[in-house]
Amino acid sequence: MRDQHSLSQNVMWKAAISCNSAYDGLFFYAVKTTGIFCRPSCKSRIPKRENVSFYSGASEAQKAGYRPCKRCRPDLKSIITYDPFESVIEDTMQIIENNYGQKISLDELASMVGVSPYHLNRIFKNKTGNTPRMYLEMVRVKRAKKLLLTTTLNCTEVGYRVGYQSISSFYHAFKRNTGLSPRLFQAQNVKNSAY
Ligand SMILES: [Zn+2]
């Protein structure tokens, strides 16, 4: 890679031990004793100098037999796509999918994934296009559709079953997501399946 030649081993070593993110993308360092390679900014334990070698590209480090570090993900193409909040988003989605039938507040969600409510809202929206609340609504409506089509539960029962505290909030959420009321959705689809 272009800049690697201008970096001395000493400079790279200093960047690695100080976890200097300014050097991310310019080189990678690999550790002989662990078989793993990292970005300069990685916060993993500092290895002994004699066990470290430097590579200008991730593919070169991999060719030399090193595995990408799970922490700093040097195998991901661009530093821009590396997102430390990825797991926060995934955890949030998982919690919502597992608990949609109960009342879930943004505060609770945020404390479960370890960020502030404001921050969670922002990064979730940024990454998925929806707020956690909107995502919860989508999960609930999806589940409600299934219940309406596959069970004999009436609309009210379905609303409570998927986590709504009031029937009007269930109706509104359902209509926002499907364009239909739960009753009409059920009637239309039962009719369609008769053909
Ligand atoms: Zn690493």
Domain 4-68 has CATH 3.40.10.10: yes
What pLDDT sits at residue 105?
93
Distance 46 CA to ligand 1 centre (A): 10
- Model confidence over 117-145: pLDDT tens digits? 998 999 899 888 999 999 999 999 999 99
- In the annotation, is 38 catalytic? yes
Residue 141 Cα to ligand 1 middle (Å): 40
CA distance 173 to 103: 15
Residues of the chain with CATH 3.40.10.10: 4-68
pLDDT tens digits, 79-115: 554 556 777 888 899 999 999 999 999 999 998 888 8
121 contacts 132 by C-beta, under 8 angstroms: yes
Packing angle, helices 132-150 and 86-99, rounded to 10: 40
Q: Which of 19, 38, 42, 69 is catalytic?
A: 38
Rg (the chain; Cα; Å):
25
Q: What are phi and psi of 185, to 5 degrees?
A: -55, -45
Summarize pLDDT for 42-93 with one digit per residue, the tens: 988 889 999 999 998 899 999 999 999 988 889 886 555 455 677 788 889 9
Q: What's the gap in Å between 70 CA and the centre of ligand 1?
A: 6
23 C-alpha vs ligand 1 centroid, how far in Å?
A: 13
Q: Please give the class, per CATH, of domain 86-192.
A: mainly alpha
Domain with CATH 1.10.10.60 in the chain: 86-192
